[in-house]
Structure 1
Amino acid sequence: MNVILNEFSLEEQFDSPETFLESLKSIIKVQHIMDVCSFTLLKHQELYNYKVTENRTLHEILIDKRISTGNEGRKFKIFLKKLMSDPPFWQDNQRHLNSDRYICDYTHEVSGYSLAEACERDKIVLSFDCGNFREAGLIIKKNGQPISLLNINDPKVFADYLLEMKKIGYHEFCNTRFENQNISFSKLESSYDFNMLEEEEANTFISTFKYFSEMTWDEIQQSNGLEFKKYQPASRKDDWFANSSYEDKQIFKFRTSQKYRCFGYREGNVFFVLRFEVDHLVSDKG
């Protein structure tokens, strides 16, 4: 699948280079999701010439050593260098015809820009996080006929879309959708993961994980819906985690429905998911 980078979301959309670099956090996360899914990001060949601020081009920000010299700033600049200089560029295999007219609210040009090219590919564009391009949909008129483009600038929205369209698996979805949040799936055991769930069951778990990720730990522990509490089996014989790598951990559980449960352990402010349960037999014994 091809995603087209929207250069209009860059052109003079930012007050300062620092504000622009800060906005890259979202786009880098989206790029990571695309890498997981083996998607291709196509760019305009002249991207480096587009102005980020009223008087600074993308290239000028990249080479200015006075801007963002910290570790995060260096990471942003490495990303920008790759973004500007590495192919593929959509002009190398342009799909839209210059004889057609593509009309939108962002330019007086009628062809030769990335939104026009997106109309002839997978109709998905990636926009920098700026005020003019935060809506999920963009409309381009090709020879008078409207074409709707999916506009991505929020990694969570992008991950949700990919899961809905079955372009990403549940485990990959969770690893990207909940990265650096209060719930992690890096320890999820393969014998008790999404492969054991039907689609409806998996979606129920996902819905609860979204709810969980938006809560503080005080809210989680006080939630009547989640019923977050210690797993306390009556005996070692009943202990689901006996002889496992996690038998020395304090295991907790919470419910994702009246019947389904999620088991794991907390480390700092992160809950590491280990196992799913759909029949409540383990929960009945602890």
Structure 2
Amino acid sequence: MKKQVIGLLVILFLLSACGLSPAEQAILTSTSITPTSAAWTKTPAATPTSTQIPSPTFTLTPTVTFTPTVTFTPTITATPTFAFPSVTVNKQAHCRYGPAVAYLHAADLAVGDAGKVRERAVYSNWLRIKFDKLEYQCWVAPSVVDLVGDISNIVKTTPNLQTIGSNQYGPPHNVTAVRNGDQVTINWEQMVMSVDKDRGYFIEAFVCQNGFLLWWTFSYPDQYSTSYTVKDESGCSAPSYGQLYAVEKHGYSQPFDIPWPAP
């Protein structure tokens, strides 16, 4: 024991000579002197806790891509413009308010007058023309014009006599009809009209001849003839009938239904 103390003193002396600090000397002294120092358990140095802030995790939201709606664009098909057939007058003639010579005169035509076909007659082959020189349409026989174009698609029509003008006298009075075999005679009372306005009378009828119901027109040029006879047979699928008009220069009266006698 004494030897150990002496040894320790020597060591302390040497350390002091080497310039160890008092703290270092104390550590060495406690290590050497404490009998249980060899049994000390080394306490591990504390592991430092990281204070690093974790990086945030970003969740990507997908961008919505809109699918465009397809809008149907219709294809425009051009509608062809209809070309009315053209005519040129080839002889001096009359243009009338209906499709037969019995109708009231509408205008005079001269060679070279031009126009367009607008309508065709239902019961004859006459054409309703809009002549360049006239503000209105009127009817002509196809024989008095030279035609260029196809009339097969032209609409067929009948004239409306009430649209021509205002008749101030009204329809004929006391109209009768009698049959004698296949002859029907129509009679009426004279319609007194002024000379400048007097254009007589007009008859439109459907009569039976040779088994066919024929469209029939007739006119008197003045007020003084008040009777007319027409052939009308039996044997047609529909009954005959007719209408009588008084005519003055402004147009036609309302029609009077002829009391047609059966065969």
Alignment TM class, shorter chain as reference: under 0.3
Looking at secondary structure, tell me which structure has more helix per residue: 1
Q: Which has the higher contact order (CA 8 A, sep 6+)?
A: 1
Q: TM-score, normalised by structure 2?
A: 0.20
Q: TM-score, normalised by structure 1?
A: 0.19
Larger Rg computed on CA atoms: 2
Looking at secondary structure, tell me which structure has more strand per residue: 2
